[in-house]
Chains A and B, each alone.
Chain A
Amino acid sequence: MILRGRVIKLGDNIDTDQIYPGRYLPITEPVEMAGHAFEGIISDFLQRAKGSIIVAGKNFGCGSSREQAATALKWAGIVAVVAESFARIFFRNAINQGLPAIIGHHLDRINEGDELRIDLHLGKIEDLTTGESYPGDPLPDFLLAIIEAGGLIEKLKRSLGGG
């Protein structure tokens, strides 16, 4: 699976209260959730999100277990999140929602607006703007299968035969 997108660059410890404010938890429509991603934190996020790849530092998605954080990013048009490390609940939520979450290294050399190409199977991250490439941790096959199915529920429905 090959992904491409422009970089939105973020720092360390981006928590889920910033990604998706608690007051919008009652929203159940993913498209509507997307409208509140990073509200009050990054003013032009929604204009830039579609087709973009978030590149962040350590501990992305820490804090509240709210799955809406991953759902909102996915439906805002974020192609993937690459980070030095992820908080574990967010990582599971992202995969379960079919949003690729990739651990990469030396990401500080990637700039805002760069064009990235990611090979999910190899875990390889290429910066097409600077020509540099970065090692990432490849996802195990069972997680890739969830992403390719579009999320865990879809995957389970197939493997359990629809129930």
Chain B
Amino acid sequence: MGKTLAEKIFSLKLNRDVKAGEFVIAPIDICACQDGTGPLSVRQIEALGRGVANPKRSIFFIDHAAPSPRKELSNDHKLLREFCRKTGCILSEVGDGVIHQRLVEDYAKPGDILIGADSHSCTSGALAAFATGMGSTDVAIGMALGENWFRVPETFRINVTGRFPKGVFSKDLIIHLIGMITADGATYRALEFGGEAIENMSMSERFVLANMAVEAGAKTGLCPADGITQEYLKRMGRENDYQPLAPDPDAEYERVIEIDASNLEPVVSCPHTVDNVRKAKELTDIRIDQVYIGTCTNGRLEDLRVAARILKGKRRHPDVRLIVCPASRRVYLDALREGILEILVEAGASIMGPGCGPCVGVHEGVLADGERCLSTQNRNFKGRMGNPEGEIYLASPATAAYSATVGHIADPREVL
């Protein structure tokens, strides 16, 4: 019997045949933390008293509250800086970008095993790395010992055929899928994306799929490493990091889900769970107070580009605040050079420095009681944006940008 992508990565790493369901201790290529989870990892590393096994592959990202809005957070940042200085671990500073975006730009590669103390660490799975989120203690152990235990997951194969209609994006596909299998439908499984629609999809769009795998409970979301992956790594100046990696044609899947992309429509996750899915065109009576375009899900150049296409020459609705946050310094610079940021600012957007922005509810756009935000982020839980009395809706950058101009949720196909 052939191997799934997850089985293949563990088998290559351990140099023996590994099957789903096995418990293994595996070496880890990359360990990552952010400023919300890093300080606890540092404490645990110090409690273990064994130092850091591989500091050049142990990275601390200051992104969740960057720059710091409060002295307690500033002290956390200081602690991370001092720890990196002392141990030689890598520090990603204020303004460098969101952990997951920086990992795919500069660190993760096909065949890697990556653990991150952040649930959306599955994003790097789009590069055919086995990338998964864990808690601070698990990542501390990965950093200190260079290994950790895993249960090799069973896999749901998601076969996507057909062509995406105009105005429909991979964000709509993943929200549609989570609505179908529910928020815990893939708990402990890997999602493996494939089929002609994935083969034709840019890395930027693939990252969205892998990023939101955890919203169905999955351990990781994987895409094959192919010509598009190779082209992306080349653009990131990491051509040598490429190796082709694909599941075997006779791999054994727990479940196979077929989706025809040509049947998809713009969709929205409604409060307070990601699997509460409705069509955008059915929600035009939902008035919104804030639109947020950014995050590790949809804060890349392609996302800002589509938003700019819709917002060019238009203004935000007077009742809507428009917040835009590029996911990394690279994205910020590219958007600046392309004139995208100028279009967005003219449309009334407030541009934040690269980072998580208001998604985590710490700063840069905390909702007031009873307010609604339409966001391109991945999670709409109660209180997520800093106020349990606020409501969060999730959609693609196109849906978000168009809705910002009309003041309510709207279907972007009307203007695309």
Q: Which residues of A contact B (CB under 8 A)?
A: 12-13, 15, 17-18, 21-23, 25-28, 40-41, 58-59, 62-68, 70, 85-89, 92-93, 96-97, 151-153, 156-157, 160, 162-163
Within 8 Å by CB of B133, from A15, A41, A65, A152, lies A65
Most B Cβ at <10 Å: residue of A26, A70, A163:
A26
Q: Is the CB of B36 within 8 A of A89?
A: no
Q: State the majority secondary structure of interface residues on B.
A: loop
User: Closest residue of chain B to A17, judged by CB?
Assistant: B381
Q: Which residues of B contact A (CB under 8 A)?
A: 36-37, 39-40, 43-44, 47-50, 64, 70, 72-73, 75-76, 116-119, 121, 133-138, 140-141, 183-184, 187-188, 217, 219, 273, 360-362, 379, 381-384, 386, 388
Tell me how far the C-beta of B142 lies from the nearest C-beta in chain A, rounded to whole angstroms: 12
User: Closest residue of chain B to A60, judged by CB?
Assistant: B184
Q: A65-B119, A67-B136 are in contact. Are A23 and B39 (CB under 8 A)?
A: no
Q: Is the CB of A18 within 8 A of B135?
A: no
Q: A62-B217, A93-B135 are in contact. Are A13 and B273 (CB under 8 A)?
A: yes
Tell me how far the C-beta of A148 lies from the nearest C-beta in chain B, rounded to whole angstroms: 17
Q: Is the CB of B383 within 8 A of A85?
A: no
Within 8 Å by CB of B217, from A23, A27, A59, A97, lies A59
Q: A65-B119, A93-B135, A157-B48 are in contact. Are A26 and B76 (CB under 8 A)?
A: yes
Q: A22-B360, A163-B50 are in contact. Are A87 and B379 (CB under 8 A)?
A: no
Q: Is the CB of A163 within 8 A of B49?
A: yes
Tell me how far the C-beta of A56 lies from the nearest C-beta in chain B, rounded to whole angstroms: 12
Within 8 Å by CB of B137, from A13, A23, A25, A96, lies A96
Q: Is the CB of B187 within 8 A of A23?
A: no
Q: Is the CB of A13 within 8 A of B183?
A: yes
Q: Is the CB of A156 within 8 A of B48?
A: yes
Q: Can you list 27 contacts pairing A with B, beta carbon distance less than 8 Å? A: A13-B273, A15-B381, A17-B383, A22-B64, A22-B360, A22-B386, A23-B362, A23-B386, A26-B76, A28-B39, A40-B383, A41-B383, A58-B184, A62-B183, A63-B119, A63-B381, A64-B379, A65-B37, A65-B118, A65-B119, A65-B121, A66-B37, A67-B40, A67-B137, A88-B219, A89-B133, A96-B135
Q: Is the CB of B184 within 8 A of A59?
A: yes
A93 to B115, CA, bound (A): 14
A62 to B137, CA, bound (A): 18
A40 to B384, CA, bound (A): 12
Q: Is the CB of A87 within 8 A of B382?
A: no
User: Chain A residues near B386 (CB, 8 Å)?
Assistant: 21-23
User: Chain B residues near A85 (CB, 8 Å)?
Assistant: 184, 187
Q: Is the CB of A22 within 8 A of B362?
A: yes
Q: A25-B36, A26-B72, A40-B388 are in contact. Are A87 and B187 (CB under 8 A)?
A: yes
